[in-house]
Amino acid sequence: MRIDVFSIFPTMVGDFASQSLLGRAAQKGLLDIRVHDLREHTTDVHRTVDDSPFGGGAGMVLRAEPIYASVEAAEPPRPLFLLGPGGRRLDQDMAKELAETGGFSMLCGRYEGVDDRVRTDLCDGELSIGDYVLGGGEVAAMVVLEAVGRLIPGVMGNAESAGDESFSHGLLEYPQFTKPAVFRDMEVPEVLRSGDHGRIERWRRSRALLRTMAARPDLMEARGGLSEADQALLAEFPPES
Ligand code: ADE
């Protein structure tokens, strides 16, 4: 899978993409992340990527020419998303959708804006990582890379580990523990040390349900509340058990 990123801070995104999970995915040949420096396609000695807005006002606007030149030279995989708070909001379903494509691309906006011809003519859509305003799209690009990258088959070591977790079944994750069994008088639930895998699985699901009900009632509602099987689990493992 190929993902191209266009930015005026390419090392920020490139360094991130070369480490940890994404770096390993690249080494395994599963992911080809290409970061392009928009300044490479400027024509003046100062490598100017921005200019003042027509109509006046504060701030600078990223110019269309270097962005078009950079995209046309790279011929990146489409769709090309402009990153900004006005876009479709990234969630786990969208991350999955993107992970199932052959590739896509992201353009990091900066400063007060990007020449709107880039948005309307060059880009195919807009993508936001949440309802807040960042100084630029670089952090958003990194969020998308990580959320999507880990869903590409083979990227995570254990084939199950990308699926069995928060949001994958519309529930938050069950609590996890490791050694020691007792730490500062806090004991790991007995069931997890019982070796009874059926019981462990049922307990985990009951805890995922309880956690989701307490912290994210909206997710509970979205999945239609508690099924009969869920209610049976909560009867077997009540909250205080
Ligand atoms: N650039 C600035 N704010 C952003 C956001 N919320 N999501 C994606 N890119 C952005």
Q: Give the DSSP per-residue string, 104-161.
A: EEEEE-BTT-B-HHIIIII-SEEEESSSS--SBSHHHHHHHHHHHHTTSTTSSSSTTT
pTM of the entire predicted model: 0.91
Residue with the nearest Cα to atom 2 of ligand 1? 134
pLDDT of residue 210: 97
Q: Is the pLDDT of residue 69 over 60?
A: yes
Tell me the CA end-to-end span of the chain in Å, nearest whole number. 46
User: Is residue 84 pLDDT above 90, yes or no?
Assistant: yes
pLDDT (0 to 100) of residue 175 = 96
CA torsion 98-100-105-108 (nearest 10°) is 30
10 CB less than 6 Å from ligand 1? no
Do 27 and 127 form a contact (C-beta atoms < 8 A)? no
For residue 120, the tally of other CB atoms under 10 A from its CB is 9
Mean pLDDT on 52-73: 96
Asked whether 128 lines ligand 1 (CB < 6 A), one says yes
Higher-pLDDT residue of 159, 19: 19
The structural domains of the chain, ordered by start, are 2-149 (3.40.1280.10), 166-236 (1.10.1270.20)
Q: Is 134 in the pocket of ligand 1 (CB under 6 A)?
A: yes
**Distance, CA of 205 to CA of 55 (rounded, Å):** 58
Ligand 1 nearest-atom number relative to CA 83: 9
Per-residue pLDDT reduced to its tens digit, 152-182: 999 987 655 665 566 667 899 999 999 999 9
User: What is the average pLDDT across 194-205?
Assistant: 97
On the question of pLDDT at 193 being above 80, the answer is yes
Answer yes or no: is the C-beta of 57 below 6 A from any ligand 1 atom.
no
What residue owns the CA closest to ligand 1's atom 10?
84
